[in-house]
Amino acid sequence: MKKITILGAGMMGSAIAIDLSKNYKIEVIDLKEDEEFKSVFKERNIKSIQADVTDLKILQPLIEKSDLIIGAVPGFIGFKVLKNVIECGKNIVDISFFSEDPFQLNEEAESRSITAVVDCGVSPGLSNIILGYYTLKMEVDYYECLVGGLPFNRIAPFEYSAPFSPIDVIEEYIRPARLMENGKIVTKPPLSDLESIDIEPAGTLESFNSDGLRTLLKTVNVPNMKEKTLRYPGHIDKIKFLKDCGFFKTEFIEINGNSLRPMDFTAKLLLPIWKISKNQEEFTIMKIIIKGKQNGKNKEHVYILYDRYDEATNTSSMARTTGYTCTGAARLILEGKFSKTGICAPESIGVEKDCFNEIINHLASRKIRLKHIERDI
């Protein structure tokens, strides 16, 4: 039986571990041990190890006999962990949302014949896979992705729950957004171009520019692309207020002889407010719009994903949609169906028709279904 080591035992890493444990030997490594997750792992014969995966000397012997690594650590250590895994000579599927350019590691990965699939969550991730597929079917000239994860119970003041680290969410709010307009990369302020949009069955939400295109800016030739994050109406006004007051600043300040970053302080305060409670019902919604010329006709393809918290397995929708896209890619590598080496963006999976279908079917088998609408324009 092949062995997979998962780095990170948070909500995403745990969902990935449980899903893959049905067919593979699984080990999970995390700096901290969560007693709840530890008991869940024990029930499924998943080995959990407490260790610092940012330390190469510690990590190397722990993953020496692994056939594949899954990276599910917080974004601020994601790049370092990815680099460590590549230096250990191991294939990896990574969902860490780090700010660094993963292609910096491409030469190292290729020299070791490593397959390193990055950004392999729901968006970026599944959204990229879908776009990659359509770059083969048609001449795409427009791509838009609207995506968000939200709680059903809208509790003031933020009406939001974070399915991952609050620092990663704050990073999304402060990182400038890169878009593609008329074939040129344009940088816009974070939280810009706020607009209302109706997406059934979620209803009216607000969208804003976010830096989610990432690898797509380098890998596909589509002249107009943007990604926008979805929240309940009014949420962004509150975030902008905090930002304008300096709560998201990353420069250290002195308070009574103590040095701290306002962002760390804010994240600490927001953690209990944003933390998803056990068995909290929430949903993930994503709408992808792809336009272009197909067989001589102007076509539009729209994909809508709507997924809810799974009561049967007590798994959040964000963990399902992110984690199961990741496990689908992991299976492709382990079964020899995807073997491209180097730093591989998710869209490189989509351009292989069989791999695209495998991912869609893999998600459908876990009751994650995409509604596809095709029309002439």
Quote the pLDDT of residue 370.
96
Q: What pLDDT, on the 0 to 100 scale, is given for residue 100?
A: 94
Cβ within 8 Å of residue 280, ≥6 positions away: 151, 153, 161, 309, 316
Residue 82 is predicted with a pLDDT of 98
Domains of the chain: 3-121+317-365 (3.40.50.720), 126-308 (3.30.360.10)
The pTM assigned to this predicted structure is 0.94
Q: What is the pLDDT of residues 74-89, one digit of tens each?
A: 889 999 999 999 999 9
Q: How confident is the model at residue 364 (pLDDT cuts 50, 70, 90)?
A: very high
What pLDDT was estimated at residue 272? 87
What is the model's pLDDT at position 312? 87
pLDDT tier, 313 (very low <50, low <70, confident <90, very high otherwise):
confident
- Across 38-52, average pLDDT: 85
Q: Which residue has the higher pLDDT, 336 or 168?
A: 336
Q: How much is the average pLDDT of 176-199?
A: 96
**Using 50, 70 and 90 to split pLDDT, how confident is the model at 365?**
very high
Q: Is the pLDDT of residue 33 over 80?
A: no
List of long-range contacts for 272-279, beta carbons under 8 Å, 24+ apart: 273/158, 274/158, 274/160, 274/161, 274/162, 274/166, 274/169, 275/161, 275/162, 276/11, 276/151, 276/161, 276/162, 276/163, 276/316, 277/161, 278/36, 278/314, 279/309, 279/311, 279/314
> What is the token pair recorded at 11?
């909500």
**Mean pLDDT of the region 87-115:** 96
C-alpha distances (whole Å) from 281 to each of 122, 133, 156, 166, 276 are 18, 32, 16, 19, 9
Mean pLDDT, residues 303-312: 95
Report the interhelical angle of 56-63 vs 75-87 (nearest 10°): 60
pLDDT level of residue 57 (50, 70, 90 thresholds): very high
Please tell me the predicted confidence (pLDDT) of residue 35.
65
pLDDT attached to residue 36 = 64
Model pLDDT, residue 37: 65
Tens of pLDDT, residue by residue over 210-260, are 999 999 999 999 999 999 999 999 999 999 999 999 999 999 999 999 999
The span from the CA of 215 to the CA of 184, in Å, is 15
pLDDT of residue 159: 95
The share of the chain scoring above pLDDT 90, in percent, equals 84
> How would residue 107 be classed by pLDDT, with cut points 50, 70 and 90?
very high
Mean pLDDT of the chain: 94
Q: Quick: pLDDT tens for 126-173.
A: 999 999 999 999 999 999 999 999 999 999 999 999 866 677 788 889
Percent of the chain with pLDDT over 70: 98
